[in-house]
């Protein structure tokens, strides 16, 4: 009986909302629909419909994958300060952070799936059923840690939400160890993902020990920046209570991370340019252009400009504590890190290729449409997660035994 | 004295063995690349008088331009005068065209050595459990003009930008 | 993610509609099949090829012989860059001809005096005749590393090194992630970005399961030293076609082989030896 009620209420919450909510969901569904048509085409014709070729065999999909693993890692790391300072608001932040992480991981895994030539043979990678090459292949490691992370990041929020739904306090004994586990695990997923590229001697651009630290530093920028934006949206649309001070604190954290990120970038640039061996070539391609090929140059300089500007914005208290500049800075970081860790990381790894050939990769409409579709899918999942989680957390959506008879239909409360 | 004799015999055997091996080794060679209808040479030369004077050939074999140490030699340094179906080594030994590598090997010792080891030249077929064929020097090098001639290359690969459709 | 994968798998209706399609979908890893299972797979594949190309294809699963480790020699003094090997390989090994065009051998042109920095390599030279003055040519294909980075990275063990040293791919097990391509320092692997385009008239019907049997879209493939030939004692196709005798082949464990002779008597080097990949492909200069 209660399950049926839960289901009914969930459905009504998901399907009933404000005009803005409808528009948003319709928009996401449209993007997903378009992406599906492109994906069917890709399945049918093969990956030839992308711009990837033997010379540059990974592109936009794997770039997005890398970026989203970073977002997923950082979303959970947001829990750390909340945990250090006090436990009380941790429930809300844990649920939000972990559901954001789960959405990001789902997107990341979907990007791998989109990049996979033979999704029909996906079962080959499932441990015990297929023949997962653990521990030799870093991709096998990644499959394990990412799926484990996904499980971890769905168990905790579900547990908390169910407990609240039943009017009980989540047990700290259960939540805290899992939250504590998810923190090193978050570092782990991003480290493993960095090692995926790092371990390839054939690609000097990735074969630098600085890669994993840089991955973490930049993830600490993009994840929290995304959280700043999301918190504000939820504050406006779902009435979530988040004080400005929390946002300012996060932006301060971003400033430190961005400093480390830029410092590591500087260390990398110094080493490559001062020694000037043939391994400089990919870096040269990225920042200056190589033998007349420079399609990534404007991108990476824009990224650098955005990252530095955001760093300055977040460093100065006055601009950090102004919502307008704060949002500009956050936007700059989301885009800047996306360029740096997406195309700016994956593509130069392949240019020049091991025999010195240069093929200038730029994603085409197929890849862009499918990528946007995956992003839309992730955002839709996150939206629906929030649609259920927030009313539960606010006590509006609760077991019938505890529900106040006069409680207004919760969807009205969603309105700003 | 005995010891000296022993050494002499050992050394002579040592010298003789590889030399004789080279003499008597036979290789499964390809057939010599004769121009069509030209062999056996005796079908024309049998009735001709032997002229050992070094000269430019005006009536027959006019397509042959000797470009192979031409100042030092001419036809009958390699082709056997009395029996044109054979070749002639510098020491006077008469050999078949299928043994022409020995003739080339007289001057090109290093390459001959590599050829016998399978490092110079080409072998095709089965290297094990079947028939293997060694290409003769003359299968690739025109003996009268041995420098390898430039070739038209096969087309380059299709550039990645044009792999699809166009 | 797993359920999404399964969904994507099932949604490929064309595969699972027929019984053969279902069998193909569920086909095991080659190295885990029993002899009977291998036979059944061969029968199914031969029927499939007969239907697709109208030709009887003979698929061998001949195993490596004990005491054999294949090695390759390439004489940089002799190569004139004519690319005969490239196309002999394509014909022998049933690569897709065009859209997409797949080639296992890449011949690069280098300026004399600059061999190591491959950034100076020209892949698309196309003069009237070769060789061109001032240049040398270096064909590169899979180097059959003893320590192959491509094998290490494969997440599903779809590629491995055979006992005779040949690195092979189970085309029916490859998931098309292309991690091996990123890991290879020699550009030794190419990808079927679309359904291979192999005219039936040009199909080579003598094939090996791990070598030149016709492939499918979205899987990776590579040079196998012509596994279908060398395991029968025949020279690889590129060795036989080469007009200048640049290419040498043999058993590294046989002291009387051609390859052993050249390693012992010529000055050989291997490409990118600093990567510790330990290739069994020896470049040398005979002159």
State the smallest CA–CA distance between residue C29 and chain B in angstroms: 31
Stretch A178-191: mean pLDDT: 92
Q: Which of C141, C231, C217, C218 is nearest to C184 (CA)?
A: C141
Domain range list for chain B: 68-144
| The pLDDT value given to residue C90 | 98
Once rounded to an integer, what is the mean pLDDT over residues B136-142?
Answer: 95
Phi-psi bin for C262: left (phi > 0), alpha (psi -120 to 50), beta?
alpha
A57 to chain B: closest CA residue:
B160
Closest C-alpha among A384, A356, A348, A389 to residue A58: A348
- Rounded Cα distance, A370 and A61, in Å: 9
pLDDT at C11 over 60: no
Same domain, A116 and A135: yes
C117, C187, C275 ranked by CB distance to A201: nearest: C275
Query: For residues C281 and A12, what is the distance between their CA atoms, to the nearest angstrom?
Result: 67
Tell me how far apart the alpha carbons of residues B140 and B151 are, in angstroms, rounded to a whole number: 13
Backbone angles phi, psi at A129, to 5 degrees: -80, -50
Backbone angles phi, psi at C159, to 5 degrees: -135, 140
In total, the C-beta contacts within 8 angstroms joining chain B to chain C are 106
Is the pLDDT at A193 greater than 60, yes or no?
A: yes
Q: Is residue A41 part of a domain?
A: no
CA-based nearest residue to A123, from B158, C91, C6, B33: C6
User: Do A294 and A156 sit in the same domain of this protein?
Assistant: no
B102 vs A192: CA distance, rounded Å: 64
* pLDDT for res A59: 97
In sequence order, the β-bridge partners of residue C73 are C248, C282
Token digits for C198?
């192999």
Contact by Cβ (8 Å): C81, C73? no
Q: Testing the interface with C: which of A32, A120, A284 to mutate, by most C Cβ within 10 A?
A: A120
Q: Judge residue C35's burial from the number of C-beta atoms within 10 Å of its C-beta, 0-12 exposed, 13-18 middle, 19 or more buried.
A: exposed
Give a yes or no: residue A263 inside a domain: yes
Q: Does any domain span residue A214?
A: yes
d(CA B140, CA B29): 13
A363, A388, A403 - which closes a domain: A363
pLDDT digits (tens, 9 = 90+) for C50-90: 999 999 999 999 999 999 999 999 999 999 999 999 999 99
**Average pLDDT over every residue of C119-146:** 96
Residues A173, A288 within the same domain? no
Note the pLDDT tens digit of each residue in C224-235: 999 999 999 999
- Rounded to an integer, what is the distance from CA B11 to the centroid of its chain? 30
SS3 state at C108? strand
Q: Are residues A337 and A249 in the same domain?
A: yes
Clarify whether residues A389 and A323 are in a common domain: no
Q: Same structural domain for residues A193 and A208?
A: no
Domains plus CATH for chain C?
Answer: 15-66+147-227 (3.30.70.20), 74-142+229-285 (3.30.70.20)
Range of the domain at A300: 204-363
Looking at the domain assignment, is residue A328 inside a domain? yes
Q: Which residue in chain B is spatially nearest to C240 when comparing CA positions?
A: B124
- Contact (CB, 8 A) for A228 and A251: yes
Give the percent of chain A with pLDDT over 70: 94
Contacting residues of A for C119, CB less than 8 Å apart: 278, 281, 291, 352, 356
Please tell me whether residues A227 and A98 are part of one structural domain: no
Flag whether A118 is in a domain. yes
A106 and A214 part of one domain: no
Alpha-carbon gap, residue C286 to C77, rounded angstroms: 6
pLDDT tens, position by position, A73-107: 988 877 776 666 664 555 677 788 889 999 999 99
Cβ pair A117:C184 closer than 8 A: no
Residue C120 near residue A356 (C-beta atoms within 8 A): yes
Q: pLDDT class for A152, splitting at 50, 70, 90?
A: very high
A398 SS3 class: coil
Q: Tell me what pLDDT residue A143 has.
A: 93
The candidate with the shortest Cα–Cα distance to C214, out of C106, C33, C92, C87, is: C92
CB contact at 8 A, C263 and C250: no
pLDDT tens for A19-77 read 999 999 999 999 999 999 999 999 999 999 999 999 999 999 999 999 999 999 988 87
Distance separating alpha carbons of residues C63 and C60, to the nearest angstrom: 9
**Residue C54: CA count within 13 A, CB half-sphere:** 5
User: Which residue does chain B place closest to C250, by CA atoms?
Assistant: B127
Q: What is the pTM of this model?
A: 0.91
Asked whether residue A131 falls in the same domain as residue A12, the answer is yes
Interface size, chain A vs chain B, as Cβ–Cβ contacts under 8 Å: 11
Q: Which residue has the tokens 């679309």?
A: C194
Q: How many domains does chain A have?
A: 2
CB-nearest to A123 from C6, C120, C275 is C6
Which chain A residues are within 8 Å of C153, Cβ to Cβ? Answer: 136-139, 199-200
pLDDT at A76: 80
Domain shared by A245 and A172, yes or no: no
Residue A36 inside a domain? The answer is no
Neighbour subunits, B (≥3 Cβ pairs < 8 A): A, C
Q: Which of C209, C200, C216 is nearest to C54 (CA)?
A: C200
Residues A186 and A299 in one domain: no
Residue A400 and residue A380 share a domain: yes
DSSP states of C154-175 as a string?
Answer: -TT--EEE-TTS-EEE-TTT--
Provide the token pair at C197. 């385009």
Residue A9 has pLDDT above 90, yes or no: no
Mean pLDDT of C189-218: 97
Residue C123 has its nearest CB partner, among B148, B153, B157, at B157
Q: For C108-133, what is the mean pLDDT?
A: 93
Residue A123 is assigned to a structural domain of this protein: yes
């Amino acid at each position: 009986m209660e399950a049926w009620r839960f289901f009914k209420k969930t459905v009504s919450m998901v399907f009933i909302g404000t005009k803005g909510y409808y528009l948003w969901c319709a928009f996401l569904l449209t993007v997903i629909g378009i992406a599906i048509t492109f994906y069917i085409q890709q399945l049918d014709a093969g990956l030839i419909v992308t711009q990837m070729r033997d010379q540059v065999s990974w592109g936009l999909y794997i770039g997005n994958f890398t970026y989203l693993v970073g977002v997923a890692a950082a979303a959970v790391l947001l829990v750390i300060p909340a945990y250090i300072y006090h436990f009380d608001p941790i429930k809300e932040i844990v649920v939000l952070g972990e559901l954001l992480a789960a959405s990001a991981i789902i997107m990341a895994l979907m990007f791998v799936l989109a990049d996979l030539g033979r999704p029909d043979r996906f079962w080959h990678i499932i441990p015990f059923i297929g023949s997962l090459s653990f521990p030799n292949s870093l991709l096998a490691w990644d499959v394990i840690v990412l799926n484990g992370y996904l499980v971890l990041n769905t168990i905790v929020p579900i547990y908390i939400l169910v407990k609240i739904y039943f009017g009980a306090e989540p047990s700290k004994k259960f939540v805290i160890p899992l939250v504590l586990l998810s923190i090193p695990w978050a570092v782990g997923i991003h480290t493993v993902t960095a090692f995926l590229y790092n371990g390839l001697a054939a690609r000097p651009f990735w074969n630098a020990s600085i890669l994993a630290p840089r991955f973490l530093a930049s993830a600490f920028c993009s994840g929290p920046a995304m959280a700043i934006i999301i918190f504000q949206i939820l504050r406006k649309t779902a009435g979530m209570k988040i004080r400005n001070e929390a946002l300012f604190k996060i932006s301060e954290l971003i400033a430190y991370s961005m400093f480390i990120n830029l410092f590591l970038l500087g260390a990398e640039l110094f080493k490559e340019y001062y020694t000037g061996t043939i391994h400089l070539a990919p870096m040269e391609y990225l920042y200056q252009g190589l033998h007349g090929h420079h399609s990534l140059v404007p991108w990476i300089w824009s990224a650098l400009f955005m990252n530095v500007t955001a760093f300055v914005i977040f460093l100065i208290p006055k601009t950090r504590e102004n919502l307008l500049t704060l949002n500009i800075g956050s936007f700059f970081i989301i885009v800047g890190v996306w360029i740096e860790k997406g195309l700016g990381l994956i593509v130069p790894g392949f240019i020049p290729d091991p025999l010195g050939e240069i093929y200038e990769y730029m994603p085409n409409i197929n890849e862009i449409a499918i990528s946007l579709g995956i992003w839309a899918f992730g955002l839709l999942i996150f939206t629906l997660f929030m649609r259920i989680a927030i009313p539960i957390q606010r006590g509006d959506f609760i077991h019938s035994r505890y529900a106040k008879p006069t409680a207004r239909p919760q969807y009205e409360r969603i309105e700003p | 004295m005995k010891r000296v004799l022993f050494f002499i015999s050992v050394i002579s055997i040592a010298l003789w063995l590889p030399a004789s091996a080279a003499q008597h080794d036979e290789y499964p060679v390809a057939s010599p690349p004769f121009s069509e209808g030209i062999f056996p040479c005796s079908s024309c030369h049998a009735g001709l008088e032997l002229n050992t004077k070094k000269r430019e050939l005006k009536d027959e074999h006019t397509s042959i331009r000797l470009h192979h140490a031409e100042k030092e030699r001419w036809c009958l340094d390699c082709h056997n005068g009395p029996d044109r179906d054979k070749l002639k080594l510098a020491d006077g030994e008469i050999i078949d065209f299928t043994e022409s590598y020995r003739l080339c090997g007289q001057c090109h010792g290093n390459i001959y050595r590599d050829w016998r080891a399978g490092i110079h030249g080409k072998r095709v077929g089965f290297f094990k459990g079947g028939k293997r064929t060694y290409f003769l020097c003359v299968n690739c090098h025109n003996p009268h003009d041995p420098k390898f001639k430039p070739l038209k290359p096969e087309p380059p690969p299709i550039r990645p930008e044009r792999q699809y459709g166009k | 993610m797993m359920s999404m994968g399964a969904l994507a798998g099932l949604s490929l209706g064309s595969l699972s509609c027929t019984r053969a399609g279902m069998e193909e979908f569920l086909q095991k890893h080659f190295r885990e099949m029993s002899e009977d299972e291998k036979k059944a797979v061969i029968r199914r594949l031969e029927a499939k090829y007969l239907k697709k190309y109208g030709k009887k294809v003979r698929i061998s699963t001949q195993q490596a012989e004990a005491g054999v480790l294949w090695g390759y020699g390439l004489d940089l003094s002799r190569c004139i860059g004519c690319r005969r090997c490239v196309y002999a390989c394509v014909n022998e090994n049933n690569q897709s001809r065009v859209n997409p065009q797949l080639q296992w051998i890449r011949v690069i042109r280098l300026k004399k005096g600059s061999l190591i920095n491959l950034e100076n390599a020209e892949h698309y030279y196309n003069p009237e005749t070769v060789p061109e003055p001032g240049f040398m040519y270096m064909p590169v294909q899979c180097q059959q590393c003893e320590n192959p980075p491509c094998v290490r990275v494969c997440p599903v063990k779809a590629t491995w090194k055979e006992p005779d040293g040949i690195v092979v791919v189970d085309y029916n097990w490859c998931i098309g992630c292309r991690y091996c391509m990123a890991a290879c320092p020699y550009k030794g692997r190419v990808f079927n970005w679309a359904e291979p385009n192999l005219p039936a008239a040009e199909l080579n019907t003598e094939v090996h399961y791990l070598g030149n049997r016709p492939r499918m879209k979205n899987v990776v493939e590579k040079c196998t030293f012509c596994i279908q030939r060398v395991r029968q004692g025949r020279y690889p196709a590129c060795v036989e076609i080469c007009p200048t005798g640049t290419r040498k082949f043999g058993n590294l464990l046989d002291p009387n082989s051609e390859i052993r002779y050249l390693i012992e008597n010529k000055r050989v080097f291997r490409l990118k030896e600093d990567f510790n990949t330990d290739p069994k492909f020896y470049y040398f200069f005979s002159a």
